[in-house]
Amino acid sequence: MVWPLIIAAAGAAIQVLGQQQAKKATREDANFAAGQQRAAALRATATGQRAAANERRNARLIQSALQARAGGGGLDPTVVNLAQGIAGEGEYRALTALYEGESAAAGLNEQADAAIRTGRAQGRAQDYKSAGTILSTASSMYSRYAGGFKKGSEKDSDYSTGLGDGTGGVY
């Protein structure tokens, strides 16, 4: 009667161990995914900064070409207005590029946070599953083995006669 008890307890222990290993793997996967998303967020920010620098450079080149074509008329109100418009458009495009990079980075960071929260939630679910396994096994073992067998029960006749037919055990 001890062996079924030992086997049931060992089975529950192995099941809980497996659930805890699954918890660990889930959290590691979530942390890895979050790290990848955070790295992508940094790249998105850097890409936005580089695009902004390119927009500012392009605006300076266009202003330089305007002044070269104005040929000495750099103080002409039309040329000054065009130069200001070019500078304003260049800065607008640069700020837009920065915003796009920061916005993409924010979205990736939010995904990273969500991955970590999901990993934690799945880990807690594994803890609950482990607790359920332990309680279920304990309940099952108690109902099967607590207090032994009662006289006159079907299980009692199975063990007392070896035949289970309640006739006294003669072949």
**pLDDT of res. 163:** 46
pLDDT bracket for residue 148 (50, 70, 90): low
Three-state SS across 127-170? HHHHHHHHHHHHHHHHHHHCCCCCCCCHHHHHHHHCCCCCCCCC
Query: How do the domains of the chain map onto residue ranges?
Result: 12-140
With tokens 């807690």, the residue in question is 124
What would the pLDDT profile of 35-84 be if each residue is shown by its tens digit?
A: 999 999 999 999 999 999 999 999 999 999 998 888 866 678 888 899 99
pLDDT bracket for residue 147 (50, 70, 90): low
Pick from 3, 13, 102, 124: nearest CA to 52: 102
What is d(CA 168, CA 166) in angstroms, rounded to the nearest whole number?
6
What would the pLDDT profile of 84-127 be if each residue is shown by its tens digit?
A: 999 999 999 999 999 999 999 999 999 999 999 999 999 999 99
